Amino acid sequence: MKYFFLLTILTIMSCSPNIRSKITSKQSLLSDNEPVLVFQKDEPFDNNGIKIGTIRAGDYGMSTNCSYNEVIRTLIQLAKQNGANILKITEHKTPDLWSTCDRITAQIYRVPDFRKYEKEIVWSPNRKLTWDDFKGSPKPISNTNVAATSYCGFGFETNRVALFKKIKIYTKAVFDCKLSWVTQDQVGRQDLLEHEQTHFDLCEVYSRILRKRIEEKKLTVFSIENEGNAIFKEVYDSYLNRQELYEKETNYGLNRQKQIEWTKKVEKELAELNTSL
DSSP states along the chain: -EE-------------EEEEEEESS--PPPPTTS--EEE-TTS-----SEEEEEEEEEE-SS--S-SHHHHHHHHHHHHHHTT-SEEEEEEEEPP-SS-SS-EEEEEEEE-S-GGGG-SEEE-BTTB---GGG--SPP---S-TT--EE-EEEEEEEEE--STTSPPEEEEEEEEETTT-EE-GGGTT-HHHHHHHHHHHHHHHHHHHHHHHHHHHHT--TTTHHHHHHHHHHHHHHHHHHHHHHHHHHHTTTT-HHHHHHHHHHHHHHHHHHHHH-
The residue-averaged pLDDT of 144-170 equals 78
Quote the pLDDT of residue 13.
Answer: 38
Give per-residue pLDDT as tens, 187-213: 999 999 999 999 999 999 999 999 999
Residue 259 to residue 253: CA distance in whole angstroms: 6
Q: What is the mean pLDDT of the chain?
A: 88
A 10 A CB-CB count for 69 gives 18
Please tell me the total number of residues recorded for the chain in this structure: 277
Q: Percent of the chain at pLDDT above 90?
A: 70
Phi, psi (degrees; rounded to nearest 5) at 212: -60, -45
Q: Residue 36: is its pLDDT beyond 90? A: yes
Q: How far is CA 148 from CA 43, 77, 151, 155, 160, in A?
A: 28, 35, 10, 24, 40
How far is residue 168 CA from its own chain's centroid? 17
The residue-averaged pLDDT of 227-250 equals 96
Give per-residue pLDDT as tens, 73-114: 999 999 999 999 999 999 999 988 888 889 999 999 999 999
Q: Residue 1: is its pLDDT beyond 50? A: no
Quote the pLDDT of residue 12.
Answer: 35
